[in-house]
């Protein structure tokens, strides 16, 4: 029996595969390398000393996915594959709706045809309505402000309705807060294409000299130091959350949404200071205007994950900064080197 990981060559997918293999699970991967590199999977094999089958292909190809499931005796699926750039989703909404929705519809169709009943879906805190009620629990109001977020929202609804119509299905919608950092080996990590949208990769690229300085998007928010507060989560903690979700899904049916976060918020300047302290580097930054759509603060109530999954984040903000820097300094150009 194996776990099919879609988008397994990506940042969170590759870290999750390391965790699954270390727990003795068998995995099989499908990835079209649209926004990832086969080098990541080669390094996962090197890091774990374990081999696994990799199919280069598109999750929208329903027949291919069904064939993979049958050929590899798949019993669970973790679905990471999808476009994820908020800004690009605003410029190219149809690209995002087509890819992110058709991939999930095709996957579910193939699962039902192949008799695969368990699905862990990579959702996001971005599905929560943009209001500053923190900490966020899973029953908060949902609503999005960009097509990327809406594809996560719509995929959650598609999966929920599929569970309603097919009682044998067992699905978990994992709502990530802000994944950062890298595996402590420094062999795998976050490798955004182009200019990073997110804070931590931008800080790492500034520290390694790829970027001249960080622009802090606004310092007039209603927070302790005026800069945006978020719930940063070590990617290895996030990976462990997926392994726990697979076990949880094996013992039940139905659909559950679960936050994966630390429950603690840190501001942009908190992160800059923690990064400088953990790594003995200086981060040049300037204060710029607010980024449209940004909230003052956004962090999770992770108690449902602890209750249902027996999962709790353990790594500190210093671990996140140290591991992120270790990856970036060892791989200044990511996997492209
Ligand atoms: C964090 C803080 C910025 C960059 C995004 C997506 C969300 C999810 C997680 C996928 C904010 C500030 C950032 C910079 C800055 N991804 N910042 N300068 O916006 O909380 O969430 O990633 O699911 O969908 O929206 O994360 O890292 O972009 O921003 O000052 O160059 O850092 O204003 O306060 P965000 P982020």
Digit-by-digit pLDDT tens for the chain (337 residues) are 999 999 999 999 999 999 999 999 999 999 999 999 999 999 999 999 999 999 999 999 999 999 999 999 999 999 999 999 999 999 999 999 999 999 999 999 999 999 999 999 999 999 999 866 899 999 999 999 999 999 999 999 999 999 999 999 999 999 999 999 999 999 999 999 889 999 999 999 999 999 999 999 999 999 999 999 999 999 999 999 999 999 999 989 999 999 999 999 999 999 999 999 999 999 999 999 999 989 999 999 999 999 999 999 999 999 999 999 999 999 999 999 7
- Whether residue 2 has its Cβ less than 6 Å from ligand 1: no
Answer whether 285 contacts ligand 1 (Cβ < 6 A).
Answer: no
In the chain, alpha helices (H): 11-22, 38-48, 62-71, 86-91, 93-114, 147-165, 199-207, 235-250, 268-279, 303-309, 317-330
* 206 C-alpha to ligand 1 centroid (Å): 16
User: Domains, the chain, ranges and CATH?
Assistant: 2-181+231-263+298-314 (3.40.50.720)
| Pocket flag, ligand 1, residue 86 (CB < 6 Å) | yes
Secondary-structure breakdown of the chain: helix, strand, coil percentages, each rounded to the nearest 5: 45, 20, 40
Distance, in Å, from the CA atom of 243 to the CA atom of 206, rounded to the nearest integer, reads 33
Q: Is 33 a catalytic residue?
A: no
- CA–centroid distance, 178 to ligand 1, in Å, is 8
Tell me the whole-structure pTM to 2 decimals: 0.97
């Amino acid at each position: 029996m194996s776990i099919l990981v879609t988008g397994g060559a990506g940042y969170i997918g590759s870290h999750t595969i390391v965790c699954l293999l270390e727990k003795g699970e068998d995995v099989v991967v499908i990835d079209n390398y649209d926004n990832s590199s086969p080098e990541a999977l080669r390094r996962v094999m090197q890091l774990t000393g374990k081999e696994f089958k990799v199919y280069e292909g598109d999750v929208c190809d329903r027949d291919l996915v069904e064939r993979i499931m049958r050929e590899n005796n798949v019993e669970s699926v973790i679905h990471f594959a999808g476009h994820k750039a908020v800004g690009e989703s605003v410029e190219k909404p149809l690209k995002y709706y087509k890819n992110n929705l058709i991939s999930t519809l095709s996957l579910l169709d193939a699962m039902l045809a192949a008799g695969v009943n368990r699905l862990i879906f990579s959702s996001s805190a971005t599905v929560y309505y943009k209001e500053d009620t923190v900490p966020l629990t899973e029953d908060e109001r949902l609503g999005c402000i960009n097509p990327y977020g809406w594809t996560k929202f719509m995929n959650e609804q598609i999966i929920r309705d599929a569970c309603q119509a097919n009682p044998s299905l067992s699905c978990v919608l994992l709502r990530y807060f802000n994944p950062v950092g890298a595996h402590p080996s420094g062999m795998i990590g976050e490798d955004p294409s182009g200019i990073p949208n997110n804070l931590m990769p931008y800080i790492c690229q500034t520290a390694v000299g790829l970027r001249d300085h960080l622009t802090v998007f606004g310092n007039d928010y209603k927070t302790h130091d005026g800069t945006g507060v978020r719930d940063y989560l070590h990617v290895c903690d996030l990976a462990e959350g997926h392994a726990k979700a697979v076990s949880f899904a094996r013992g039940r049916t139905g659909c559950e949404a679960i936050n994966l976060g630390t429950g603690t918020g840190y501001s942009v300047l908190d992160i800059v200071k923690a990064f400088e302290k953990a790594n003995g580097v200086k981060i040049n930054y300037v204060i710029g205007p607010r980024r449209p759509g940004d909230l003052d603060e956004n962090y999770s109530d992770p108690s449902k994950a602890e209750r249902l999954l027996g999962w709790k984040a353990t790594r500190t903000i210093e671990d996140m900064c140290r591991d992120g820097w270790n990856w970036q300094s060892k791989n200044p150009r990511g996997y492209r080197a």
